[in-house]
Structure 1
Amino acid sequence: MRISDYFEAGTPAALLAWGQLDSTLAKTTHGLLRHSKILKPVCVVAEHAGKRASDFVKPIRYDVPIVDNLKDAARLGAKVLIIGIASVGGYLPPIMVQHVLDAINLGMDILSGLHMKLSEIEPFKSAAKTAKVRIIDVRHYNGELSIFRGDIFKSNTLRVAVLGTDCATGKRTTAVQLYEFALKRGLPAAFLATGQTGIMLGADEGVAIDALPADFIPGVIEKLILKLESEGKKLIFIEGQGALRHPAYGQVTLGLIYGSMPQMSVFVHDPSRKHFEYFEGIDMKPDVDAEITLVQKFVATKVLGISCLDENFKHEVYPVFNPFDDSQIEKIFERMGAML
């Protein structure tokens, strides 16, 4: 899925993050404020009216105002309301329902990455029909479901998977930072999104793999990589999902690994976490060494480094880098070496 098939570049959008702007659940809002290519954020809708997005997100590309109602968002030019959260379970929090209806009544399209399909749920379905606006559910794949065929082994692309030790650690952010660095170097690179936020920000291609039947995850990923290769892309950064050791989401991670068969990988880690985030009942915690060891049991991938925002975190084997520091990213590209 390509968001450019639905919106023209520069379409102004409001980001709904009510009650969650200062949490990792607002990663969709944070991601679009940092990296949106097609939709242009003009405001955030949250309970912090009068503040700016940079009060909650750093670094940031779109430092927009925060408003607490959709009329103000419309006055700022918003034509689209983006559901800017990724709630556990993919549901719309009740506190956001009226905001979505207000946006529809003001003539805004709705862009949602939730598991619940807003375009088929009342009262949104009827309201959108009356207002003649679109509800676009990006987490729902409408393309052909494909079983893995093994054609990926014949591909000449260099595939770099950006994997992680938990959810919401910065896998997508790191992948996009690497991708944008590659573009600045003039490399024929692509960003393959595997989650709703990556699709929304304007990935070259994407599918929310956690909404696919498990049997088809590897095949759909394989097919999208081959499609990008047919369009002239030689270096593909693949957004990771979850973590292989995560009991709730590891099956999605495994499907992604099988489908992409990455020759190289980057791991993203938050050393401060004492458990998988929002899963305190699971008696395990993110462990970068254990994650790398497990991934390499499934695929022979060269680890380029560990993306981490904690400057005190060091690793004895792999370089640790800040994904927002181009000088450190340069060293990761040097490790790609002759394969570039």
Structure 2
Amino acid sequence: MAWWKAWIEQEGVTVKGSPHFNPDPDAETLYKAMKGIGTNEQAIIDVLTKRSNAQRQQIAKSFKAQFGKDLTETLKSELSGKFERLIVALMYPPYRYEAKELHDAMKGLGTKEGVIIEILASRTKNQLQEIMKAYEEDYGASLEEDIQADTSGYLERILVCLLQGSRDDVSGFVDPGLAVQDAQDLYAAGEKIHGTDEMKFITILCTRSATHLMRVFEEYEKIASKSIEDSIKSETHGSLEEAMLTVVKCTRNLHSYFAERLYYALKGAGTRDGTLIRNIVSRSEIDLNLIKCQFTKMYGKTLSSMIMGDTSGDYKNALLNLVGSDS
């Protein structure tokens, strides 16, 4: 990995973990915080939001070895509500957490398409492979088959296409001729004909690299005199529209996409806690600082200030710790 890439990634992290880490005293602190009557929530927040995911896994091992109990199960029995949901999310290894979110989005009545779209459109090929592996290990089923059983039509096709991870997200190579051809094909598949050729859109959006697609979007605008987003909005609707727009947003600027997801979770009446927790937990060790900068740029206020205004109690304190300072 080039040094600058490592530096950028380090810059993006809000939860760096403890430099002088020893899991044993941490496990003991947690045990004491939950022993007897009443729970010391602040002690739980201080330990778990200030450790990296890898360190939390070590603490869980030490907790089991010292006290013969499963840490996550103990936390579940002591905590409740959104705070419990957040703390339990922190205890999952990253890919297993995303597999769980996908599984939860499909089980029971009604499918939360938004969750599936968000995860599949915003992860790299490698990340998707790890999520599929974790899903199979934890649920004894194929993620692809479950998605096929739970969705239908073009939405099913775009999700399966994204899951195949045929997008080339490494080379950054752009073939200008192919970019023009792709733009013409998209125009012909949408604006030009009566009825839309959805498969053409799905194929191009799901199999080309981000760098290549950026060029396609530019060429498209020249031909169609409107943005690819506007065409998608006028040609499709519902979950398919959301899925296509998400691929475009993640291609244009991944950090803006996550900033928008967080803003959408916090604005208006009622907080969408599932979206808020998932995005803060899953990006805290990747690029949450960069998402925060983008958030302020886009909405003129900081992510922390919106969390402060929209959440309360231990839940709020834990979220603010994960998001880090605004400086």
TM-score computed with the length of structure 1 as normaliser:
0.27
Q: Which is richer in helix?
A: 2
**Structure with the greater relative contact order (CA < 8 A, sep ≥ 6): 1 or 2?**
2
The structure with the largest strand share of the pair is 1
